[in-house]
């Protein structure tokens, strides 16, 4: 079962991480979901696949009233990211889904109508959660051709979607990266194969290097914090991507 853990807290402004689901069946990739709350409003980031909706919904409900989730942020169009959308819309048909304009015609195949989606333009946009101004940061071609990360300048948290993802063995179930060198071995193959564009990668590294980041939160694996954030960006900028075999 998933549990919701608070990774940032300043009054009502919180970040919850729903990470490392041990009860998930093996044939599904493990995902992390995040919830940002502020002033009674909340946005769920990459709510996950429909198979894990019960686990995510129940975990969110233990720490937060899910009726206050008014927004969903989808970093990209993948099934492990957003195929639970039909369930969230069943629960609250008024939920708005923020998503790259590129996928506007595709994701409604999962659920939703013209009113459900808010198109994020290629250069990103500001998204208000309660009184907090969050930024959709362009991360195109990493790995999806219409791809965004989400930055919270007050909390100094960057949700980085599939960037920073690691496919960890079951025994390594910590919420945070503890030993960068050990950890990054589990991220290497994933980034080489999934991240298709070296130019996009370098652009992204430059873009996020300009941000103050205390925590880099990927959709798979553990969270990078403190000096490991810089370590990750440096590692990624040097990595050869877009290769079929490592």
Partner 1 sequence: MANSHSSEGAGRELRRIVRINEEIKSVVSAAFKINLMAMNAIFLAKRAGQSALGFGVLSNELRRFATDLQRQMDTLREATYGSVSTVTVLVKQSRISRLLERARIEAQGQAKTLIQQLARSRDESTLARNDEQMAALNRRLTHMIADTAQLVELGSVLARSAKIEAAYGGGFSGSLMQVSSDFEKIIGEIQRSLESLTKHQSEDFLA
| Structure tokens given for 98 | 């923020």
54 near partner 1, judged by CB under 8 A = yes
Give whichever of 132 and 161 is closer to Fe ion, judged by the CB atom: 161
Specify the residue for token string 């959308």.
85
Candidates 10, 12, 93, 119; binder of partner 1 (CB under 8 A) is 93
Report the C-alpha gap between 104 and 106 in whole angstroms.
Answer: 6
Q: Least distance from C-beta 76 to Fe ion, angstroms?
A: 6
User: Does residue 58 bind partner 1 (CB under 8 A)?
Assistant: yes
Q: Is 70 in the site for partner 1 (CB under 8 A)?
A: no
Q: Which of 22, 62, 131, 209 binds partner 1 (CB under 8 A)?
A: 62
Nearest 5 degrees, angle CA 221-CA 225-CA 230? 100
Q: Which H or E run contains 137?
A: strand 132-138
* Residues at the interface with Fe ion (CB under 5 A): 78, 80, 162, 219
185, 243 contact by CB (below 8 A): no
Where does this chain touch partner 1 (CB under 8 A) — which range of 46-54, 71-79, 98-106, 176-184? 46-54
| Alpha-carbon Rg for the chain in angstroms | 17
Q: Which is nearer to Fe ion, 37 or 195 (CB)?
A: 195
């Amino acid at each position: 079962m998933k549990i919701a853990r608070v990774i940032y807290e300043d009054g009502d402004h919180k970040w919850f991480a729903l990470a490392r689901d041990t009860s998930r069946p093996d044939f599904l990739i493990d995902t992390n979901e995040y919830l940002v709350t502020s002033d009674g409003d909340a946005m769920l980031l990459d709510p996950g696949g429909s198979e894990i909706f019960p686990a995510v919904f129940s975990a969110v409900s233990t720490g937060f009233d899910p009726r206050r989730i008014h927004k969903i942020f989808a970093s990209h169009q993948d099934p492990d990211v957003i195929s639970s959308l039909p369930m969230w819309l069943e629960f609250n048909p008024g939920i708005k889904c923020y998503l790259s304009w590129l996928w506007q015609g595709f994701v409604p195949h999962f659920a939703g109508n013209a009113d459900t989606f808010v198109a994020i333009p290629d250069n990103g946009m500001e998204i208000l959660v309660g009184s907090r101004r969050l930024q959709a940061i362009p991360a195109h071609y990493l790995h999806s051709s219409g791809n965004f990360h989400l930055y919270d300048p007050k909390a100094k948290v960057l949700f980085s979607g599939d960037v920073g993802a690691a496919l960890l063995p079951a025994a390594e179930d910590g919420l945070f990266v503890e030993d960068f060198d050990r950890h990054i071995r589990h991220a290497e193959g994933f980034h080489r194969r999934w991240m298709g564009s070296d130019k996009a990668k370098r652009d992204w590294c430059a873009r996020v290097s300009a941000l103050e980041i205390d925590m880099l939160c990927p959709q798979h694996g553990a969270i990078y914090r403190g000096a490991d954030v810089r370590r990750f960006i440096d590692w990624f900028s040097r990595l050869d991507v877009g290769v079929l075999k490592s």
